[in-house]
Amino acid sequence: MKKQLEHEFVSNLEKHQNIVHKICRMYTNDKDSHNDLFQEITIQLWNAYPKFRGDSKFSTWMYRVALNTAITLYRKSKKELHTQNYDEISFKIKAEAYNDEVEKQLQLMYKAVKELNDIDKALVFLYLEDQSYREISEMLGISEVNARVKMNRIKKTLRNILNP
Amino acid sequence: MDELEFLKQNWKKQEENLPRLSYDDIYSMIWKKSSSIVKWIFVISIVELLISTLFTIFMADANYWDQLEQLHLKKVTIFVYVISYLITFYFIYCFYRNYKRISTTDDAATLMHNILRTRKTVRTYIAYVLISTGIYYLVIGYLTVQNHQLIQNIEDTSKYTFDAMDWVKFTVVFGIILAVFLLALWLFYRLIYGILLRRLKKNYRELKRLEI
């Protein structure tokens, strides 16, 4: 029974691991910290998995546990707080599909998002992942109206970062 | 088109450049030990509860009970001990109940609230131990000084009685020792919980600010 649960969980996570990697990339600044956070999220997901009843999608459930781990449970290392390796935090897309100008703009935008605080980053991340305002508000524990208001403010903040 | 919309349109395209872990990599991770702040808070809280409880047990040795017997305070002390153990068990129960409520499947605000509440239980317990111990020893100290002459059977009591100045000295010295002890404890708390909870508190304030 336990073996089956392990297999089911690992297969699900393997399939949806991109979500966790994107969160790790959003909240950490170097490869070691990325791996540390990925591991902590995996442990928390596994600990919570027996309570996952399948009434929501595995991916939706993952967003909640993974973001909670990144925002609340994970303790950033001292080293990471002082590291800003631009290459590791940059937004990487398939190079041949885009011209330099577009890619440069995307990277600047991604860098601006990474300068936001933890909560704003979570809002932006869920928005980029195409989650509805209702889902965003439920995951963060705020009202839907406030999620919308906050998102409008974040857009203004980002505009200011990009056009000082 | 706003900038965020532009990023959103291209968001999925980064996926090809994300790291890819194998089934075995992930399988080995589920057996690793967590290093989350909740685990640290749990360990530190248990140590605090144990130290506070052991502190009250070891303070009461045979000699201590003999002294209380002479001062006719044994019955009162036993009563105080029974009450304090009941209060201690109540705090341990509250801590356990609050700790069990911490769940990563809750929304972010509820999760943060539950972690902070668990911490608050232990903090309140420590404050209770310090305040009650302080009051208790103040009372015992006062009664010991008052009854000193009765126990020692001293004829010339003038040397052993506290005058007003002696009381002032006694209170000042007691106050200084207490202040130094509390300051050291406060610094310890600032250090440990400053490191563990600074980020959580900041994020919780940010979420709560949104709800005003």
Average pLDDT on B62-71 reads 72
CB pairs A-B closer than 8 Å: 166
Helix (H) or strand (E) holding A93: none
Residue B151 has pLDDT above 70, yes or no: no
Query: Mean pLDDT across the stretch B29-42?
Result: 87
Q: Would you kindly state where each structural domain of chain A is located, as residue ranges?
A: 1-86, 90-164
- DSSP one-letter code for B106: S
Alpha helices in A16-99 (DSSP H): 17-27, 31-48, 58-68, 78-82, 86-89
Q: Within an 8 Å CB–CB cutoff, is residue B22 touching chain A?
A: yes
The pLDDT confidence band at residue A64, using thresholds 50, 70 and 90, is: very high
Nearest CA in chain A to B206: A119
pLDDT (mean) for B52-81: 73
- Residue A2 pLDDT level (bands cut at 50, 70, 90): confident
Domains A1-86 and A90-164 share a fold: no
CATH number of A1-86: 1.10.1740.10
Is the CB of residue A20 less than 8 Å from the CB of residue A42? yes
- Mean pLDDT in chain A? 85
Contact A10 B18 (CB under 8 A): no
Residues A118, A81: Cα–Cα separation, whole Å = 13
- Answer whether A21's CB lies under 8 Å from A38's CB: yes
Residue of B68, B110, B143, B186 lying closest to A140 (CA atoms): B110
B99 within 8 A of B190, measured Cβ to Cβ: no
Contact A40 B8 (CB under 8 A): no
Beta-carbon separation of B109 and A139 below 8 A: no
Q: Name the residue with tokens 């980064």.
A: B14
Which one is predicted more confidently, B80 or A42?
A42
Distance CA(B199)–CA(A80), nearest Å, equals 14
Does A14 score more than 90 pLDDT? yes
- Write down the pLDDT at residue B155: 56
Report the residue of A39, A58, A105, A162 to disrupt the B interface, i.e. the one with the largest count of B CBs within 10 Å: A39
User: Nearest CA of chain A to the CA of B168: how many Å?
Assistant: 49
CB A17 within 8 A of CB A49: no
Average pLDDT over residues A7-20: 94
- For residue A78, name the pLDDT band (cuts at 50, 70, 90): low
Backbone angles phi, psi at A90, to 5 degrees: -75, 160
CATH of A90-164, one of 1.10.10.60, 1.10.10.10, 3.40.640.10, 3.40.1000.10: 1.10.10.10
Q: How far is CA B168 from the centre of its chain?
A: 32
Q: What are the extents of the domains in chain B?
A: 35-162
pLDDT band at A149 (very low <50, low <70, confident <90, very high): very high
Q: Which of A63, A120, A121, A60 is nearest to A89 (CA)?
A: A121
CB A128 within 8 A of CB B8: yes
Q: Which residue of A has its CA nearest to B104?
A: A65
Q: What is the pLDDT of residues B90-129, one digit of tens each?
A: 988 898 898 899 999 999 999 999 999 988 888 888 788 7
